[in-house]
Amino acid sequence: MVDQIISEIPISDYELVLLPGFVQWESSSLERKYSLKVRKGPEFASELPVIFENLQNINLSNKIPANKLFEISGEKEYQEIIKEQYGIAKNNISHHTFYINEEKSDLIIGRNLPPPVIAEIVNCTERSDKNILKKVQHYVESGADIIDLGCVSNKPNPNRIKEIINLIRKNFNVLISIDSMEKNEIFAAVDEDIDMILSLDAGNYKTCLNLPKDIPIVILPTNVKAAYFPKEPETRVKKLFDLIDELHNHGFEKLIADPLLETPISPGMCNSLETYFLYKQKVVKENYIKYELPMFFGISNVVELMDIDSVGINGLLASIAIELDMGVVFTVEHSTKLMGGVRELKDCIKLNYLAKNKNMPPINLGISIFKAKKKKSQKIPKIDQEEAIIVKKLNLDYNPDKNGYFRIYINHYAKKIYVLFYSNEHKLDQIFIGDDAEALSKKIIQFKLTEDLYHINYLGRELNKAENCLLMGKSYIQDE
């Protein structure tokens, strides 16, 4: 049909024929026949304006839809910028730009680089080995750059710290940090060659002056031991500067400043953000340049303590992190609502970093982190509602299937959907495991476990819901 259409138009007037992205075949044979570019456009017409605006960045394909190429182009451009900026950073290693651990990794933090993501395992010393390994694997697969061992306040366990570091190192090639202010835990971690320390402040730094001077250390403007937590941005910045002076005088080379991001509303996020802005404004001035350090942005204090979907919060905080040139970003996936948050944050950093380097807002760059919403909409055809069947009410009557029933579960760590089929005598007859609702439903139909159309309709609906929950990091509860 396309061949016929092309044969009927004056092709000499055109440079390109754009096919719908959903066309299943490739168009190279038509190109050869008519000596004309015949390429795939986007899958949806609503995406045409964005594709046309970015044609200079996309080499349209005979096989791949244009919107998919646009996504690839965004990632490719991001990687090209990373390569360029890392080359610059390697020639400017200093107190503001440095390797986390050059012997183990090429990861650098500092000026004009995307901040690596530190993902914390909360209450790590009280978890089982199996639980820790599961969490580490999930974080690594989600894009975390550093795994943080979150210790338990007032319950130091230095021996367990050593065990955990060796456990992770035995199974993963990943950088590790320790989140503790207890001297014994910090030195135990150092014995096992820890890659980063969180944190030192005015209350504990004097007991840690014998630490190796080349380990990156996060510093705070507090004195936790004396229950001192300054509120005023000016005071916080001054306390950070004082501690920087002390530690530099003792030979510490790699310091990371944490002005402390607080929770929204109470005690309030704006005051702490002002501290970040003030720190950044001061360290670019000549008389304060020696205090310029990578900044630590602990966003878990925000995403964890808001009953709001995490993806938008991560996106906004990532834009702040990129605008202020943060050195590292710290997050957790402790509660159920934060499942998938590390991947969200990593992707949000990519989007905003690409936008910063292109000097434009983080939109239409080939990287998007939409989950619940989309940019495109569907055009509704004109319909005669007089002829329509109006369905006003759901029939909640339940008629059991004589063959049995299904139970559906999802495992976010395995990234799988489990479908269990039971007889009406509650005997498990069949198990299906997959991650695609359509593939699972078709396979189940092939096994002819049920021929009840209402049950099949129900199964498809629940599998689709389960797949969406898997993709969004959302809890799935059948029939909810």
Q: For residues 137 and 160, what is the distance between their CA atoms, to the nearest angstrom?
A: 20
- From 74, 107, 136, the end of a domain falls on 74
Query: Do residue 350 and residue 404 come from a single domain?
Result: no
The residues, ordered by sequence, that sit 6+ positions from 174 with a Cβ below 8 Å of its Cβ are 136, 140, 144, 146, 147, 168
48, pLDDT greater than 90: no
Mean pLDDT along residues 360-385: 83
What's the confidence (pLDDT) of residue 104? 95
- Residue 206, both tokens: 């004097």
Same-domain status, 25 and 122: no
Residue 101 lies in a domain: yes
| pLDDT above 70: residue 1 | no
My answer on whether 174 and 269 are in the same domain is yes
Confidence of residue 418 (pLDDT cuts 50, 70, 90): very high
Q: Which residues of 301-314 are buried (b: 16+ CB within 10 A; e: fewer)?
A: bbbbeeeebbbbbb
**Position 374 confidence tier, pLDDT thresholds 50, 70, 90:** confident
What angle, 0 to 180 degrees and rounded to 10, lies between the N-to-C axes of helices 341-358 and 310-323? 40
Q: Which residue has the higher pLDDT, 422 or 400?
A: 422
> Is residue 3 scored above 70 in pLDDT?
no
| Number of structural domains found in the chain | 3
For residue 411, the enclosing domain spans 389-472
Tell me the average pLDDT across 219-230.
Answer: 96
User: In this predicted model, what pLDDT tens digit does every residue of 139-166 receive, in sequence order?
Assistant: 999 999 999 999 999 899 999 999 999 9
What is the CA angle 92-197-165, rounded to 5?
115
pTM as predicted:
0.84
Rounded CA separation 256/220 (Å): 9
100 plus 69 within the same structural domain? no
CATH number at residue 134: 3.20.20.20
Instruction: Based on the fold, state whether residues 426 and 278 are members of the same structural domain.
Output: no
For the stretch 30-40, what's the b/e string if a residue is b when 16 or more beta carbons lie within 10 angstroms of its beta carbon? beeebeeebbb
Q: At what angle do helices 66-90 and 341-358 cross, to 10 degrees?
A: 80
**Rg for the chain, CA atoms, rounded:** 28
What single string gives the DSSP state of each residue in 228-248? B---SHHHHHHHHHHHHHHHH
Residue 328: φ, ψ to 5°:
-145, 150
Q: Are 199 and 217 in contact (CB under 8 A)?
A: yes
Q: Under a CB-based contact definition with an 8 Å cutoff, are residues 348 and 369 in contact?
A: yes
Residues linked to residue 228 through DSSP beta bridges, in sequence order: 223
Considering the domain architecture, whether residues 465 and 416 belong to the same structural domain is answered as yes
